[in-house]
Structures are given as C-alpha cells and as structure tokens.
Structure 1
Amino acid sequence: MSSKKQLLSLYKSLIRESQQFASYNFRSYAVRRVRDSFRENKFLMDVEVIRTKLIEGQNNLELIKRQALISQMYKTDKLVIENMNS
C-alpha cells in the first residue's frame, strides 16, 4: 500500500477510534490531537521521518483502542453540552 493511502487509512482509523471514548472531554481531546498532529506533519517529505511517524501513529491507534475500551467500562452521566446536541 502506498504511504499516502496508509496515512489516510491511519487518520480515519484514529478519528473513528477517538470517537469511541465515553467521556465527552476525552473524545474531544483525542479527535483534536489527531487532527492537529496530522496538520502539523502535513508537509513532511523525508521518507524515513514519514515512516517513523506512521509507526508512531499505529502505536497511538492501539493505545486509543485500549483506552476507549476502558472508558466504556466506566461510563458517567452525559454533560450538559452533550445533551444540547441530542
């Protein structure tokens, strides 16, 4: 798979998994960090740096999956802001 396709796939996976957090605050933070990180590294050209960032992103994806699963075990009441969006 080309690195561009890998990066797009990784981005979508990170966003999708970040939206699985039970807590609104964690969910918002995770999505914002993913977007900011990809924007920050948008203009990277060095293949080795891109490869390193790709591995780092895959490790972060696994971390987010574990943390989202744990957060779903300990759900709390929705915040006021979440109830406004419903």
Structure 2
Amino acid sequence: MAASTRAQVISLYRMLLRESGKFPSYNYRTYALRRVRDAFRANRKVDDPKTVERLMEEGEQTLALIQRQ
C-alpha cells in the first residue's frame, strides 16, 4: 500500500471513530465503535489497490451515514 493511501486509510479510520463517538446513546456508540474497529481489523491485510479503493468508498459512505445520524 502506498504511503498516501495508508495516510488516507488512517484518516478515514480516525474520522469514523470520532463521528461514532458522538452518538448520545451508549448502545449505539459502542456498537458503531466496535463495527468500525472490527471492519478495519478484518481488512488489515488487503493489498490489492482495487479492493482498497472499494473499501475506502464504502468507508466514506459509512462516514456520511454516521454524520447524518
């Protein structure tokens, strides 16, 4: 993974964690945080650029969804 892609992934991860932590309900907050961490852990070893790009798009859509909540 290129350094710029790695930085983008880390940035997306941090934004998802930050936005998930803003849920007022404890249950929603912990669920969202757990889902974000688990998704990034599950895809930690992905090296294919097309797969990384697809996962980044899914993450950005998820971020937009969390921000609308």
Normalising by structure 1, report the TM-score.
0.76
Report % sequence identity. Answer: 48
- Correspondence 1:1-86 to 2 at 5 A: 2-67=4-69
Larger Rg: 1
Unaligned 5+ runs, structure 1: 68-86
TM-score w.r.t. the length of structure 2 is 0.94
Query: CA offsets per residue over residues 54-86 of structure 1, 9 Å max, x none?
Result: 01000000000111xxxxxxxxxxxxxxxxxxx
**What is the CA-CA distance between 1:39 and the residue it aligns to?**
0.1
The number of equivalent residue pairs is: 67
Structure 2: segments with no counterpart, 5+ residues: none
Q: State the one-letter code of the partner of 1:24.
A: Y
Name the aligned partner's letter for residue 42 of structure 2. E
Partner of 1:25, secondary structure, is helix
- Cα distance, 1:45 vs structure 2: 0.7
Distance 1:56 1:2 in 2: 18
Q: Provide, for residues 8-59 of structure 1, a one-character-per-residue CA deviation record: whole Å limited to 9, x for no partner.
A: 0000000000000010000000000000000000000100000000010000
Residue 12 of structure 2 aligns to which amino acid in structure 1?
L
